[in-house]
Chain A
Amino acid sequence: MSETPEPRGYLSQAWLVILLALVYGGALAGVQTKLQPMIDENKRLETYRQIPALVGIAESTDDAEIIIEQRQIEDDDGRKQKVYLALVDGKPQGWVLPAGGMGFADRIELLIGLDPAAETITGLWVLDQKETPGLGDLIRDEEFRSRFVGKSTGEHIEAKPEPKRSNEILTLTGATISSRSVAEIVNQTVERFKGALRREDTTPTSGKPDR
């Protein structure tokens, strides 16, 4: 193998790379199509497991008493959004909004818990992230997520290294962009849909649990 490649056209050199890229691309598309429903189902189950804690239902509450309804809401521009309503004994406990947006490395997917009046954030959960290990991925930790709990939905949350005002949260050291991204995803989603949530009827639709 000592012949030096002559620049006799890219195709004769690169046909294998191009062919492989096409074959691999096709194979990946196939695998993705096949597995996506299972991935979505895993995320759905995880969402349902997290909802009670996100809206502040006490752990001692019997699972059978908790009813979770999945609903579709629309913001003022007509954009649709899936939302979960958690009820105990027919009384609304709070909303959980799935949200997503760009982080530092890749998309971050969140679940945001809100009180029934959509005025306070009651919980935050990270469904998916690929932030830097050891720095940005600390957004998954309870310690960071709890910084959002109790914040008012009327204020724009900002991640600051030295939080002073009530709308500011402490940034993660070494992960400023990840922290800001999470705050921004929360802000955008909450601001867009809180009006629609307040208009939404919180009485249970039919009493049949959507499990």
Chain B
Amino acid sequence: MPSQGPTALERFVGGILPENPVYRQLLGMCPTLAVTGGMKPAMTMAGATAFVLISANVIVSLIRGLLKPHLRILVFTLTIATFVTIADLILKAVPALYPMSKELGPYVPLIIVNCLIISRCEICSSKQGLGIAMADGVGVSLGFALALGSIATVREILGSGTWFGQPVMPDGWANWGIMVLPPGAFLTLGLLLGGAEWIGQRREKRREKGKV
């Protein structure tokens, strides 16, 4: 199938780091800030988002030939909302995930308005074939999980002294209460964003020097 734009591999790799949805595109900030107080809710959110993103990418890619330009956003939203509702029901129904569903509460239905998903429908799957759309969905999902995981790791270890609920800090560690509260999310995100940007710029400079 003649397809313009990046290949499946480029989409997959791009979603993880070079075009990381959180660190490079600054998309999906609502869950990034809200559910990263611990690894368990962060990974549940990453999993639910991955399910919705990959499913929506597949469906949109399959019907891309039928899309009317002025109705495409409506179709994207409809598709995303359907899969979010399914994800919400699954989280509530599986006994192992039920406590997480209660903890995440309205943040699961709010995946509908996570613009990283609709941006992938618009940028990739409404223009490219099924294979590329799937690779893109998986790559971006991994990138999102990586971003949520990195923020949640910092916040949970410093704020609760645990990782996935398991104690990791030495006895006598005083929890930084602020890290599990909303300000901790902003502080961590800001510092990690700055770090990612710094690494990116250094790499850029080195590449330019190499050329000269």
Contact = CB atoms under 8 A, between A and B. Distances in A.
Interface of A: 1, 5, 13-14, 16-17, 20-21, 24, 27-28, 31-32, 35-36, 38-39, 41-42, 45-46, 105, 129-134, 137
B92 A35 contact: yes
A106 B75 CA distance: 25
Given A16-B68, A21-B78, 9 more contacts: A1-B69, A5-B68, A5-B69, A13-B68, A17-B78, A20-B78, A105-B106, A132-B106, A137-B106
Interface residues of B, number: 27
Nearest to B90: A35
Contacts of A24: 78-79, 82
Chain A contact surface mostly: helix
B86 A28 contact: yes
Nearest to A128: B102
Contacts of B74: 17
A16 B63 contact: yes
Interface string B48-88: 00000000000000010011111100110011001001100
B86 A31 contact: yes
Given A39-B92, A130-B106, A13 B82 contact: no
A182 B188 CA distance: 35
Interface string B82-108: 100110011011110010000001110
A24 B106 CA distance: 21
A39 B86 CA distance: 13
- Nearest first, the 8 closest Cβ-Cβ pairs linking A and B are A38-B93, A35-B93, A24-B82, A42-B98, A130-B106, A39-B92, A35-B89, A39-B93
Nearest to B103: A140
B68 A130 contact: no
A31 B66 contact: no
B107 A38 contact: no
A133 B107 contact: yes
Given A24-B79, A133-B34, A13 B69 contact: no
B173 to A, nearest CB: 25
Given A130-B109, A137-B106, A16 B89 contact: no
B195 interface: no
A42 B102 CA distance: 11
Contacts of A105: 106
B92 A17 contact: no
Contacts of A1: 69
Contact of A28 (B69, B82, B105, B109): B82
Contact of A130 (B34, B69, B94, B105): B105
Nearest to B71: A17
B182 interface: yes
B71 A16 contact: yes
Given A16-B67, A35-B90, A42-B93, A133 B106 contact: yes
B94 A38 contact: yes
Nearest to A132: B106
A146 B34 CA distance: 26
Contacts of A42: 92-93, 95, 98
A13 B71 contact: yes
13 contacts: A1-B69, A16-B71, A17-B78, A20-B79, A28-B82, A38-B93, A39-B92, A39-B93, A42-B93, A45-B95, A46-B98, A133-B106, A134-B182
A1 B182 CA distance: 45
Given A16-B66, A42-B92, A137 B105 contact: yes
